[in-house]
Amino acid sequence: MIIVNLKGGLGNQMFQYAFGRKLSLKNDDELKLETAGLMSANKIGDIYRPFSLSQFKIKKQIATPDEVRKLKYPYGILSKALRWFNFKILKKTHTQFEPHAMKKTGDIFLDGYWQSPEYFEDIRETLLEEFTLEEPGETYFKDMANKIKGTESVSIHVRRGDYANNPQVLKEFGICSKEYYQNAVNKIAKKCASPTYFVFSDDIDWVKSNLDLNEKVEFVSNPSLTDAQELILMSTCEHNIIANSTFSWWAAWLNQNIEKMVISPTPWFNNTSYDSTLIPKTWTKLVK
């Protein structure tokens, strides 16, 4: 059995699931999900994030507390002490690509971020099928989907929220500047004759006040849309301008346009490590 401990928002959960799914296929083993940590995140001072993967056509078997305990703490108190040491002292969050992790077999408890396409690139077709919406969207979603299909569409994702308002998060991760987005739009203009920009953001008012797109623009984000619906709408655009966020990273990776231009910020984070394989070589990097 393989159990994936889910943590963070939708983009993080997708990375964690993707690696677990790869191991389950490679090992011909059962995949289950641990969601208890998501529900209790606010109790340890983290931002509460729901089980967002449930919106997709994924393998949704949830591990029982007993199954989690057996795999997470196989040696009882010794296992707990070792996990505490690895996470609190060694700061092992398993963000970067670890080739040896691909060789794991038997009962596995995956607890990390696993943010590299190297883990799952060869099961892309499976993930494209499973990361589709379980339920069709309502009127607003369908209207936006039709607008995207009828234009030379470019998604723009502007991540603000805790990136902008939490000093510690801002120091570690950084935020994409207005100059980054302007330079990205200039790049797109050289490729697209008549682009329409579809803007996704947790702070649409900031975008309207600070980004001068001077082109056809649709401000998409709306309370009627779920996070998964926004991600899927982004992925259906012909081209993507992403933030340093796993949310828009996945939208770009799921984009099936073979001629897509994806513009990504660099460095991805300021003071937090990330894997060099995170940004595919075919994507265009611009200083954030």
Do 107 and 147 lie in one domain? The reply is: no
Mean pLDDT, range 47-76, rounded to an integer: 87
Mean pLDDT, range 82-87, rounded to an integer: 56
Measuring CA to CA, which residue among 5, 20, 21, 25 is closest to residue 69? 5
C-alpha span between 115 and 93 (Å, rounded) = 10
Last residue of a domain, one of 81, 105, 130: 130
C-alpha span between 80 and 74 (Å, rounded) = 9
pLDDT of residue 127: 98
CB atoms within 10 A of CB 15: 23
The tens digit of pLDDT for each residue in 199-239 reads 999 999 999 999 888 779 999 999 999 999 999 999 999 99
Measuring CA to CA, which residue among 194, 6, 30 is closest to residue 107? 30
Do 147 and 81 lie in one domain? The reply is: no
The tens digit of pLDDT for each residue in 6-54 reads 999 999 999 999 999 999 999 999 999 999 888 776 555 566 788 999 9
Residue showing tokens 């996945």: 250
pLDDT of residue 89: 45
The tens digit of pLDDT for each residue in 248-271 reads 999 999 999 999 999 999 999 887
pLDDT of residue 270: 87
Measuring CA to CA, which residue among 184, 136, 127 is closest to residue 156? 184
Last residue of a domain, one of 130, 158, 189: 130
Q: Hey, CA dihedral for 95, 120, 145, 154, is it positive or negative?
A: positive
Measuring CA to CA, which residue among 282, 286, 279, 227 is closest to residue 257? 282
CATH number of the structural domain spanning residue 252: 3.40.50.11350
- For the chain, the average pLDDT equals 90
Is pLDDT larger for residue 85 or for residue 144?
A: 144
Measuring CA to CA, which residue among 203, 43, 59 is closest to residue 131? 59
What are the backbone angles phi and psi of residue 62, rounded to the nearest 5°?
-95, 130
Q: Strands 2-5 and 284-287: what pairing?
A: unpaired
Residue showing tokens 């971020």: 113
Do 166 and 274 lie in one domain? The reply is: yes
Order of all β-strands in the sheet with 31-34: 31-34, 2-5, 108-110
Give residue 220's identity as a one-letter amino acid code. V
Do 122 and 152 lie in one domain? The reply is: no
Do 44 and 162 lie in one domain? The reply is: no
pLDDT of residue 46: 61
pLDDT of residue 85: 45
The tens digit of pLDDT for each residue in 115-161 reads 999 999 999 999 999 999 998 888 999 999 999 998 999 999 999 88
Mean pLDDT, range 88-100, rounded to an integer: 73
Do 50 and 171 lie in one domain? The reply is: no
C-alpha span between 172 and 192 (Å, rounded) = 34
* Interacting residues of 181 by C-beta distance below 8 A, sequence separation 6+: 156, 158, 211, 241
Residue range(s) defining the domain that contains residue 200: 139-287
Domains of the chain: total: 2
Do 88 and 188 lie in one domain? The reply is: no
75 — pLDDT class (breaks 50, 70, 90): low
Measuring CA to CA, which residue among 114, 209, 196 is closest to residue 158? 209
pLDDT of residue 90: 45
Do 169 and 111 lie in one domain? The reply is: no
Do 28 and 6 lie in one domain? The reply is: yes
Residue by residue, DSSP assigns 140-172 as: HHHHHHHHHHTSEEEEEEE--HHHHH-HHHHHH
Cβ-contact 227, 142 below 8 angstroms = no
Do 250 and 276 lie in one domain? The reply is: yes
Do 24 and 49 lie in one domain? The reply is: yes
Is pLDDT larger for residue 76 or for residue 50?
A: 50
Do 25 and 90 lie in one domain? The reply is: yes
pLDDT of residue 190: 92
For 271, the token pair is: 């003071």
Last residue of a domain, one of 99, 130, 161: 130
C-alpha span between 288 and 222 (Å, rounded) = 26
